[in-house]
Amino acid sequence: MSVKGLKKLMSHSVVVVDAVRTPFGKSGSLYSGTRADDLMVRAVRGLLERNPKLSPSNIDDVAIAAATQTGDQGMNLGRSVALLAGLPTSVPGYAIDRWCAGALTAVTTISSAIAFGAYDFAIAGGVEHMGNHPIGDGLDPNPRYLAEKVVEQDALSMGATAERLHDRFPTLTKERADRYAFNSQMKTAAAYASGKIQRDLIPTAARSAELGWGIATVDEPPRPTTTLEGLAGLKTPFRPAGRVTAGNSSGINDGATAAILANEEKARALGLSIKARLVSFAFAGVEPEIMGYGPVPATIKALAKAGLSIADIGLFEINEAFAVQVLAFLEHFGIADDAANVNPFGGAIAVGHPLASSGVRLILNLARSFEEHPEVRYGMTTMCIGLGMGGTVIWENPHFNASTKAGN
């Protein structure tokens, strides 16, 4: 093959065909009697049911993420879920772990294979059942982390890293964090009232010892009656007189997400929808003690790779692990705390953050915002990652129309 031919092979446009998720539950509540892998199977089945033009036999691979890969989140989730979801035995699968950015990494890894030409269609997603697998369960951190001062003790507690962000940036006050959290709850309530969130939730069987079997159709965590006064009065569990509370942080949750990624040319040939087009992505590291700052350098790298500036990004989906983490990103790039183009449907503070699943939730929300805003060409999904990392993916709006004015 000529060098010119090789370059052509490696330059396929990668698109999101569709993305879905189960409703998210509170840890050990809604899904207390449901296995993690069954949550993931339901998401994949629901995704395929919504896209009948794509034959399961055309799927080249399945990448599924989980932060805790043991028990019902072990045994190679990608392959296990593919088999349990009824895909042909010819469809392979594998598991991914980059903690909170597991699903985001599944997307970028699968996308790289599609761009290279190895795959035409694939599924990427993530699941976390934090009721079955509490954060840190079964971990055995190497004692050299602390003994050799590789990290400080705070680096191993995500809440403590959020407090350190407040320390590092004194302008990021508790009052600002609480107000951001309040706005997230209100945006989510408004999105629910207008039916914008429910359309991408796959009804999921749920079982509890008290109530028996039921069908989950909405997220369990949102608190639409949240008030600023109530947030101000919450305890700070990570530090006496601290600033991080249960109200301005994401919850401990259970849920699954899944997306179909494709070679754009092949997707269009089958008449599949195109919801977002990959532009660039980047992961970056920061001091583990200020884990939440990771999206800043990751975004700087992703923008540079795309030849774009932050001013080119018209829509943002930022994972709300902690309000202070989002505020650090917004302040660095000169974006207002209450910017309408940031998490317009609310975020993880309201709907929850089942660790490795959240990356695809960001993508499906961004894809819906693209539909509503044809005047916006580029959008971004970004999140912080434990042990001091960040991940950012830049997407192009397939509905972009330069002649459309904002608000029309």
Strands 276-285 and 389-396 turn out to be antiparallel
**DSSP states of 248-312 as a string?**
TB---EEEEEEEEEEEHHHHHHTT----EEEEEEEEEE--GGGGGGTHHHHHHHHHHHHT--GGG
Phi, psi of 27 (to 5 degrees): -50, 125
- Both tokens assigned to 200: 């991408």
| CA within 13 Å, CB half, 286 | 25
How many beta carbons lie within 10 A of that of residue 220, not counting itself? 20
Catalytic residue numbers, as ranges: 100, 353, 384
Cα distance between residue 22 and residue 222, in whole Å? 15
Nearest by Cα to 180 from 327, 334, 328: 327
Distances (CA, A) of 5 to 1, 10, 265: 6, 9, 17
- Both tokens assigned to 337: 């705390």
